[in-house]
């Protein structure tokens, strides 16, 4: 940049008689043209009605209406008899009451908490490779394969593994898996109750999602037992639904809060690593070992109107897309045994293509709910031109979702997924920062990753009152789910102590190299 400025300063001045047209494509002021178009289309109704209203008022003011005309109008047209008066009064009471009772209840997010394991659970890339080699089950070729994946994964040196996996030799068993689940769930829930001041006995709805660990009694029963939740609590345990299960839980809680007034819903999202570490040599199953890490989150929702003032966010929309009817989509993330009997989760080579189709369907549904009218018209116009008028030279228009959202929390499933979404949605490094830093610092924590990303935005002080945040996640099945939140307050990071980033947020963002060599 400095060299550019220097060369510009040494350049001889142009002759004043020569006029050079500006490059409109690179001009910064071009954005105002788009903003103006957006304003014109979005406010078209008001721009059309306002002049008509002014003309009507002016005509009324200039008309020659006398007192006698008003009296005649009342006596012959507006005067009500007793029956009409009673009917009108009843309607005035009945219709607002009907609207109040049948309108959708607003769902508020009071607060959320993300579990941050103790430093002893930290796993560097070198420790990962050392424990993989010490397991004694991987061939040299597959150890080299894991090293290559890990070096290009975008994961940093401070991700976390459960104790059973870090031991030499590893000790994957039911007792250790329960220990990990209790540590993650109870750690997050304890922090959440401390932040909100809500008592356990006030929880009316409990939803726990964990894809690969489903013991008996269930994880939700473990929470009920630990916190002595009331006997009529509505308890749900979601399993096998992949990394997008967190938003499925949010949507389920939203639906339940519509029919259970004055209720609190506790949502817990996590994944369990202990019993799902793959010890075989099928490469499609080894990728999960390199990406998934320990983590979890607890979220408290409410439909109480009195909670609005102390809530952080309002849930605006949830959109769920399921591609399970297609065989390729159904099988692209599949838990099975390999040839030697080791259980693992196989990732198909079709995964990226399937995820792209699911994303396209999801944002096509979400777009009309959130995009300004200007973007919708541009998208519709190009669609008609290409499909109906056969004008194939016109490129398909990708709506600018940056005009609908201030922040993006994209599931940090892996570097390749983030790269593709950044390119397809035309997002900036700033928009992708929460997802990339979450992948770097905590790894792929499955369904809870979206909450580590939102916690990053809060720790950075970026959440302002009125801001809209789009959470989007992918999961086995194959599913793509979205949630849209609106901030009800400006989040002050200095007042939020129980945030997994708060002690180290000054270190971020960091540069993540394309290849991080393992020593």
302 contacts 203 by C-beta, under 8 angstroms: no
| Residue tagged active-site, from 411, 431, 480, 481 | 411
Active site residue 114: no
154 contacts 414 by C-beta, under 8 angstroms: yes
Helices (H), 398-444: 415-424, 429-442
| Residue tagged active-site, from 114, 123, 210, 243 | 243
Helices vs strands, H then E, count in the chain: 18, 13
Burial class of residue 100 in the structure, from the number of CB atoms within 10 Å of its CB (0-12 exposed, 13-18 middle, 19+ buried) = exposed
Q: What's the token pair of residue 377?
A: 């018209």
| Residue tagged active-site, from 210, 276, 303, 322 | 322
CA gap 432, 190 in Å, rounded = 30
Q: What's the token pair of residue 257?
A: 């809060």
150 Cβ contact list (under 8 Å, min separation 6)? 125, 128, 129, 290, 518
Active site residue 409: no
Helices (H), 103-171: 125-135, 140-151, 163-166
Measured between alpha carbons, how far is residue 339 from residues 70, 137, 170, 252, 305 in Å? 92, 14, 22, 38, 56
| Residue tagged active-site, from 407, 409, 431, 499 | 407
Active site residue 322: yes
Task: Please give the distance of CA 216 from its chain centroid, rounded to a whole number.
Answer: 30
Active site residue 506: no
Give the sign of the dihedral formed by CA 235, CA 239, CA 241, CA 242. positive
CA gap 261, 303 in Å, rounded = 7
Burial class of residue 71 in the structure, from the number of CB atoms within 10 Å of its CB (0-12 exposed, 13-18 middle, 19+ buried) = exposed
Measured between alpha carbons, how far is residue 56 from residues 53, 61, 78, 166 in Å? 5, 9, 21, 78
Question: For residue 300, which of 327, 267, 275, 274 has the smallest C-alpha distance?
Answer: 267
CA gap 4, 21 in Å, rounded = 21
CA gap 52, 49 in Å, rounded = 5
Task: Please give the distance of CA 167 from its chain centroid, rounded to a whole number.
Answer: 34
- Beta strand pairing status for 264-271 and 295-302? antiparallel
270 contacts 181 by C-beta, under 8 angstroms: yes
Q: What's the token pair of residue 243?
A: 């990394």
Active site residue 411: yes
462 Cβ contact list (under 8 Å, min separation 6)? 407
Burial class of residue 400 in the structure, from the number of CB atoms within 10 Å of its CB (0-12 exposed, 13-18 middle, 19+ buried) = middle
Active site members? 243, 322, 407, 411, 444
């Amino acid at each position: 940049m400095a060299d550019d400025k220097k060369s510009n300063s040494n350049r001889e001045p142009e002759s004043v008689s020569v006029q050079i047209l500006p490059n409109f494509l690179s001009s910064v002021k071009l954005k105002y043209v788009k903003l103006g178009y957006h304003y014109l289309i979005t406010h078209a109704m008001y721009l059309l009605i306002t002049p008509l209203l002014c003309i009507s008022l002016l005509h009324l003011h200039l008309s020659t209406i006398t007192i006698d005309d008003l009296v005649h109008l009342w006596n012959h047209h507006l005067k009500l008899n007793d029956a009409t008066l009673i009917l009108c009064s009843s309607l005035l009471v009945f219709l607002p009451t009907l609207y109040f009772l049948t309108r959708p209840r607003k769902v508020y997010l009071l607060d959320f908490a993300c579990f941050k394991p103790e430093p002893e659970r930290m796993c560097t890339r070198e420790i990962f490779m050392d424990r993989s080699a010490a397991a004694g089950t991987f061939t040299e070729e597959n150890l080299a394969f894991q090293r290559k994946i890990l070096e290009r994964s975008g994961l940093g040196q401070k991700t976390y593994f459960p104790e059973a996996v870090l031991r030499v030799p590893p000790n994957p068993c039911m007792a250790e898996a329960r220990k990990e689940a209790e540590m993650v769930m109870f750690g997050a829930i304890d922090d959440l109750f401390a932040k909100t001041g809500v008592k356990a006995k006030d929880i009316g709805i409990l939803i726990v999602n964990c894809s690969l660990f489903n013991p008996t009694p269930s994880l939700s029963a473990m929470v009920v037992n630990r916190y002595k939740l009331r006997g009529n609590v509505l308890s749900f345990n979601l399993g096998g639904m992949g990394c997008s299960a967190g938003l499925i839980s949010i949507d389920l809680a939203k639906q339940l809060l519509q029919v259970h007034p004055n209720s609190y819903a506790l949502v817990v999202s996590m994944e369990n690593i202990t019993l799902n570490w793959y010890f075989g040599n099928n490469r499609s199953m080894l990728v999960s070992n390199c990406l998934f890490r320990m983590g979890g989150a607890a979220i408290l929702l409410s439909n109480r109107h009195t909670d609005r003032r102390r809530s952080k966010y309002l849930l605006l929309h949830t959109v769920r897309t399921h591609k399970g009817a297609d065989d390729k989509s159904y099988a692209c993330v599949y838990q099975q045994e390999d040839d030697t009997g080791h259980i693992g989760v196989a990732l198909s080579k079709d995964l990226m293509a399937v995820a792209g189709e699911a994303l396209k369907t999801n944002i096509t549904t979400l777009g009309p709910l959130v995009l300004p009218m200007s973007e919708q018209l541009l998208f519709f116009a190009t669609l008609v031109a290409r499909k109906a008028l056969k004008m194939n030279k016109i490129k398909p228009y990708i709506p600018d979702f940056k005009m609908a959202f201030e922040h993006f929390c994209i599931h940090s499933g892996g570097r390749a997924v983030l790269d593709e979404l950044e390119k397809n949605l035309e997002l900036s490094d700033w928009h992708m920062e929460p997802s990339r830093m979450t992948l770097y610092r905590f790894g792929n924590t499955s369904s809870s990753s979206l909450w580590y990303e939102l916690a990053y935005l809060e720790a950075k002080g970026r959440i302002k009152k009125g801001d809209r945040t789009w959470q989007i996640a992918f999961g086995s099945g194959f599913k793509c789910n979205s949630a849209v939140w609106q901030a009800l307050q400006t989040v002050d990071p200095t007042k939020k102590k129980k945030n997994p980033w708060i002690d180290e947020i000054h270190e971020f963002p960091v540069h993540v190299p394309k290849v991080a060599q393992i020593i």
